[in-house]
Amino acid sequence: MTISVNDLRSEPNKPSMEAIVRYLQQLNIDTSALPKGWVNFDGTGTIAIRDSFNVTSLTDHATGNYSVNWTTNFAATNYAVVLGALGDGGNVDHIGIVSLTAGAARVELEGAASYADTDASIVCVIATGTQ
């Protein structure tokens, strides 16, 4: 099956990861290292996704403790995750991975002054690996 750029544009909303990978593979481009999912969300109050790819939902476990739930699961728990966060007044000092499952990445943020868990107005998570 041949896929063109126009096929990718005609899919509703955003093209699927499978469609993008098939298109790039037709061009003989290695797709193994492409991000397989990402999200930018507001982690304060009622958490809200600003934009995302391959993210079905977020879970707010507690202050500064969130799970990113993937639409398409990873094949195993050995995928890579990159994190970033910005709190109001720059109060985020540490952001780390709590756990990885095939279907979700759980992350935690700590404040600069107290090292207590803290929410952030901008939280970004990017993941890559085999799905």
- 59-107 confidence digits (pLDDT tens): 999 999 999 999 999 999 999 999 999 876 667 778 899 999 999 999 9
- 7-49 confidence digits (pLDDT tens): 555 455 666 667 777 778 788 877 777 889 999 999 999 999 9
Residues 6+ apart with CB under 8 A from 122: 40, 42, 43, 84, 85, 86
Residues 6+ apart with CB under 8 A from 91: 111, 112, 113, 118, 120
Does pTM top 0.85 for this prediction? no
Domains, the chain, with CATH or none: 1-31 (no CATH), 34-128 (2.60.40)
